[in-house]
């Protein structure tokens, strides 16, 4: 069962997480968040042609850093999403460290994103919001 608390655009949902799921994070801008909301917070939108890889990250800290430092400057605001995915599905993807030990992500080919969406357990939560005035 899911319980949801909404405060502004930040949705807090209690996901029943177990040993068969992995929690992932994804920083997004406002346009991607609108598309996620339009799906009922059930899936990420298809990638654009110039985006061949979907990059969920493995730590909330890293997702917050990207949302603050990249999404805000690129699109005026940044959001951090959190979601659970079945471990059996994720087993096919290697972890990639792209900086410090906190900078870990998975590389999901764009053509596999729909399948990943079908393996999301529960809903996609919005756990943080960043605006330019909040990070100065």
Domain limits at 42? 8-134
Total domains present in the chain:
1
Buried/exposed code over 45-81 (b: 16+ C-beta within 10 A; e: otherwise): beeeeeeeebebbbbbebbbbbbbeebbeeeebbbbb
User: Which residues are bridge partners to 10 per DSSP?
Assistant: 7
pLDDT surpasses 90 at 133: no
Model confidence at 1, pLDDT cuts 50, 70, 90, reads: very low
The per-residue pLDDT for 54 is: 97
Q: In this structure, what token pair is assigned to residue 68? A: 């603050």
Position 28 in a domain: yes
- pLDDT tens digits along 94-114: 999 998 888 999 999 999 999
CB 3: neighbour CB atoms within 10 A?
A: 9
- pTM exceeds cut of 0.75: yes
Question: Alpha helices of the chain — where are they, by DSSP H?
Answer: 30-38, 60-66, 72-75, 87-90, 113-118
Position 23 in a domain: yes
Position 1 in a domain: no
The CATH number for 27's domain is 3.20.170
pLDDT surpasses 70 at 17: no
Position 45 in a domain: yes
Position 30 in a domain: yes
Give CA–CA dist 19/105, Å, rounded.
20
- φ and ψ at 116, to 5 degrees? -60, -45
Q: In this structure, what token pair is assigned to residue 24? A: 């992932």
Q: What is the mean pLDDT of the chain?
A: 88
Position 85 in a domain: yes
Position 22 in a domain: yes
pLDDT surpasses 80 at 14: no
């Amino acid at each position: 069962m899911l319980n949801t608390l909404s405060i502004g655009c930040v949705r807090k949902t209690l996901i029943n997480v177990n040993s068969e799921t992995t929690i992932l994070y994804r920083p997004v801008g406002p346009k991607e968040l609108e598309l996620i909301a339009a799906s009922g917070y059930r899936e990420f939108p298809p990638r654009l042609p110039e985006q061949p890889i979907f990059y969920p990250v493995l730590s909330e800290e890293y997702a917050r850093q990207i949302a603050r430092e990249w999404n805000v400057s690129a699109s005026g605001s940044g959001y951090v999403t959190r979601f659970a995915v079945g471990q059996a599905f994720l087993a096919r993807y290697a972890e990639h460290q792209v900086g410090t030990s906190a900078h870990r992500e998975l590389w999901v080919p764009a053509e596999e994103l729909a399948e990943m969406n079908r393996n999301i357990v529960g809903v996609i939560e919005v756990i943080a919001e960043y605006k330019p005035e909040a990070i100065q």
